[in-house]
Amino acid sequence: MRTPILVTRASYPDIVDRLRAQFDVTDNPDDTIWTQPELIARLQGKVGAMTAGSDRIDATLLDACPQLKAVCNIGVGYNNIDVGACTDRGVIVTNTPDVLTETTADFGFALMMAAARRIAESEHYLRGGLWTKTGRYDMFVGGDVHGATLGILGMGRIGQAVARRGAFGFDMRVIYHNRSPLSRETEERCRARYVDRETLLRESDHLIVVVPYSASSHHAIGAAELRQMKSSATLTNIARGGVVDDAALAVALSEGAIAAAGLDVFEGEPAVCPALLAQKNVVLTPHIGSASVATRRAMASLCVDNLIAALGRGPVAGKPPT
Ligand code: DGY
């Protein structure tokens, strides 16, 4: 009998076929979002699972699915998985780092530029038929990106890729804050300087959040932090909802405490804080930071390699979270 596995979300059929060649695959071609009891029911008897950020893998689920040996998550973030509970039960966990770094950094930069230069807001204005007079000197004036100070909270792989874009592409002064400073060589490679949190908040013209979500990064940017930023600054979040306090951000945007924001991730996705939806000076996108065709295929492919390796059918290809 072939090993039974579950693929929880729809993916590229030709890539999932590599799993079908070896395992008995149950998948989800309609891409239904299952409730927790539905997920647990579908995992009964399954030895491996290809999961996504929308699946919550916790101790209750693991105890209800004792035959599960590997949870291979598509995405670099894995805050949807209780890694400690998996480790305690001998369940292997993998993610898909590296393959999405540059694409996600591109997107973060695009979102930051869209916020700074008011691209979404001005597009709505034009489509709404409000553009009746050309050449107004003060129409949608925004903040410059080139030559400005780029602040990065969280200097992992994606943070470093954002830094290189800012430093070498846009001649920005790059400062960052991280759990600990990077090596001198890495700082030189990114032309970035370590600063404390207060300096980061105070001096950034454009602050971008790239820190993984955890209990310690919950609401790392809240009302108090927003008050420390420049009123001309922008804030961009491509990390996880929950790192930024969305309700506090909506207040800061409405009061002009900061100039604009770009958000690709939200607390309680796919719901978005109504107060944010009411603000014009925020660019909102539906968690698509890694969504280029090549990168989404590379993520799926690495996830499949990881599952094959984790179930002992091939060489270890993926990296478990560290
Ligand atoms: C990631 O890779 O973590 C992306 O946010 C997709 O979930």
For residue range 177-195, list pLDDT tens digits in order: 999 999 999 999 999 999 9
Query: Does residue 85 sit in the same domain as residue 108?
Result: no
* Mean pLDDT of the 72-98 span: 97
Query: Does residue 206 sit in the same domain as residue 303?
Result: no
Q: Is residue 263 part of a domain?
A: yes
Q: Is residue 320 part of a domain?
A: no
* Mean pLDDT of the 125-129 span: 97
% residues pLDDT > 70 (the chain):
97
- Our mutation pick for probing the ligand 1 site, out of 9, 102, 217, 290, counting the most ligand atoms within 8 A of Cβ, is 290
Q: Is residue 267 part of a domain?
A: yes
Query: Does residue 58 sit in the same domain as residue 142?
Result: no
Q: Is residue 144 part of a domain?
A: yes
**Residue 100 Cα: closest atom of ligand 1:** 2
Q: How far is the CA of 18 from the centre of ligand 1 (A)?
A: 22
Q: Is residue 111 part of a domain?
A: yes
The predicted pLDDT at position 212 comes to 95
Average pLDDT, the chain: 96
Strand segments, DSSP code E, in 170-270 are 173-177, 192-194, 206-209, 234-237, 260-263
| Torsion-angle region of 104 (φ positive above 0: left; ψ -120 to 50: alpha; else: beta) | alpha
Output the ligand 1 site: residues, CB below 6 A.
53, 75-77, 100, 289-290
Q: Nearest-CA neighbor of 99 among 311, 287, 292, 285?
A: 292
Asked if the peptide bond before residue 270 counts as cis, ω within 30 degrees of 0, the response is: yes
- Give the pLDDT band (50/70/90) at residue 135: confident
Q: How far is the CA of 134 from the centre of ligand 1 (A)?
A: 41
Q: Nearest-CA neighbor of 194 among 179, 208, 209?
A: 179
* Mean pLDDT of the 75-104 span: 97
Query: Does residue 88 sit in the same domain as residue 54?
Result: yes
For residue range 1-21, list pLDDT tens digits in order: 899 999 999 999 999 999 999
Q: How far is the CA of 290 from the centre of ligand 1 (A)?
A: 7
Q: Is residue 315 part of a domain?
A: no
Enter the ipTM: 0.93
Domain of residue 43: give its range: 4-97+293-310
Query: Does residue 28 sit in the same domain as residue 111?
Result: no
Write the single-letter amino acid at 249.
Answer: L
**Residue 53 Cα: closest atom of ligand 1:** 7
* Mean pLDDT of the 22-47 span: 97
Q: Is residue 316 part of a domain?
A: no
Query: Does residue 75 sit in the same domain as residue 179?
Result: no
The per-residue b/e assignment along 109-119, b for 16 or more CB within 10 angstroms, e otherwise, is bbbbbbbbbbb
Query: Does residue 13 sit in the same domain as residue 43?
Result: yes
Question: Distance (Å, rounded) from C-alpha 302 to C-alpha 156?
Answer: 20
Query: Does residue 257 sit in the same domain as residue 273?
Result: yes
Q: Is residue 238 part of a domain?
A: yes
* Confidence (pTM): 0.95
Query: Does residue 76 sit in the same domain as residue 132?
Result: no
For residue range 42-80, list pLDDT tens digits in order: 999 999 999 999 999 999 999 999 999 999 999 999 999
Q: Which residues are catalytic?
A: 240, 269, 287
Query: Does residue 161 sit in the same domain as residue 276?
Result: yes
**Residue 299 Cα: closest atom of ligand 1:** 2
Query: Does residue 67 sit in the same domain as residue 136?
Result: no
For residue range 200-216, list pLDDT tens digits in order: 999 999 999 999 999 99
Count of the separate structural domains present in the chain: 2
End-to-end, the C-alpha distance of the chain in Å comes to: 34
Query: With 90 as the cut, is the pLDDT of residue 316 above it?
Result: no
Scanning 11-100, the segments in alpha helix (DSSP H) are 13-20, 36-43, 59-64, 83-88
- Our mutation pick for probing the ligand 1 site, out of 8, 55, 73, 76, counting the most ligand atoms within 8 A of Cβ, is 76
Nearest CA to ligand 1 atom 3: 77
Q: Could you give phi then psi for residue 152, rounded to 5 degrees?
A: -125, 120
Query: Does residue 244 sit in the same domain as residue 108?
Result: yes
Residue pair 148/169 in contact by the 8 Å Cβ criterion: no
The predicted pLDDT at position 202 comes to 98
Q: How far is the CA of 173 from the centre of ligand 1 (A)?
A: 27
Q: Which two tokens stand for residue 173?
A: 């002064």
The CATH code of the domain that includes 253 is: 3.40.50.720
- Give the pLDDT band (50/70/90) at residue 270: very high
